Structure 1
Amino acid sequence: MCAMRFAPSQLIVSLSYDLNNPMKIRAKHKVAGMLLLDRDHANRLEKGWNVPGAYLLLDRPNTDGRWGAYVGKATTPGLRHRVLQQLKDRAHWYRALLIRYESNDDETLNSSEAGWLEGRLYDHLAKARQVDLHNRNRPCDPTLSDDDETSLIDYLLPIESVLRLIGHTLYPRPAGAPDGGGPLTRRIESKSEANKPAPHLSPRGSTPKTSPPLGPAKDVKKIIAQIKAGTYVYEPPLSR
């Protein structure tokens, strides 16, 4: 059994000034090179991506955050050829995530490694409660040595990080999440106004009810004279 050595990986995202170009993503200290490709721009994919690797065809998440995916691999002639073929064969996807070996330009994943990665990605997504897989059957991955498996395991966490980055989470948000466990986007309701003082209608319009309403206007000079003479009697305003 191979050793599991998942480690945090810093993602480097490269965006082009041309919005029609794909988004390039790679893990800084790992060997996985990834490319996020919009379906409408698949024909712009560089020929350098015609190498063996694995790929995910992604559906748009629905209002509950669930999304569909198809897991595949490419050997010869490579990922570019396979993705262009999937434009004709599958209509459900809006983005494709391509995965290849990138640490050395002279090396690529071989057919067995691409197949192993395809199978493990399938298993990983099949366990996720937010994903509906379009694959009819589980891909059959070949047997690899422990060392080869260990190196390929390093691909899985960066791939999951990329999916999270683009809004494709694998598990529902917990009930204690700020949005209550629902989709990432939610309608913001106004706060309760139960503790807000009830408005008081006065001749001048609606005002906070912070003091009793004033009674009829009085002759201020007359009141002042009565106070000085000691004959002023306070008359509370009539209740309404």
Structure 2
Amino acid sequence: MSGTGRTDDGRGRLGGVLSNLAVAVGCVLFLGGSAWAAVVYKPYTVPTSSMSPTVNAGDRVLAERVDGDEVRRGDVVVFTDEVWGATPMVKRVVGVGGDTVACCDEAGRLTVDGDPIEEPYLRADGTASPAGTPASGKDFTAKVPEGSLFLLGDERTSSLDSRVHLEDTDQGAVPRSAVQARVDAVVWPMNGMIDRPEAFAALPGGVSAVGPLPLQAGSVGVGVLLILGGAAYGPLAALSARRGRRTRVPAGDR
């Protein structure tokens, strides 16, 4: 009996050490992932439907703080430009410095330097444009100045974007320095990550790399599981021990 007791005590101590270690590691992952996300990302509430169906009015998004020089075609960015108004706005980058952005070709598609761009994000089901459906309600051509970005909303029928400012000296473009952040995910409702459009990947410069949000979310999630698992070990071990004592038959009754 004494040998069994010492074995049980040893197992209990080892289990206690492991459970404490799990809680400690879980706290590090949870707090570290949360702090990392707070430094890298900033939450925004989208005020209008100009980016529908990708981002709708009232959606809560997480935007990675980036320098304007890091932005690539296809990115959804938060920016502020005095010509457009003094409040942060959310639009998609479709052209960068040196590009000629035009719409529409014979199939109704946007073109960048003559290359047609398929834009499945313009439709909620993510399919290609039906034949004859234009990517813009108005035809336009713009040469984007160096150091600038040409921005369009995904809701092309109502978005007030670079097309409205075509008569400005910069052909409707905004300076890269106006960009504050790049939208990576819609967190409320939980629509998930915003994909980098494949159509822009073949153009010079490619598309942006995915931000660190999945890694940060994974760190927080694993941390929560470790904390809960480690905290639950003590009560479960005690319950198991009590059940073991109740079922153990005294030596004198054998």
TM-score above 0.5, yes or no? no
TM-score, scaled relative to structure 2: 0.27
TM-score, reference length from structure 1: 0.28
Q: Compare the two structures and name the one with the higher helix fraction.
A: 2
- Of structures 1 and 2, the one with the larger relative CO (CA 8 A, separation 6+) is 2
Task: Choose 1 or 2 for highest CA Rg.
Answer: 1
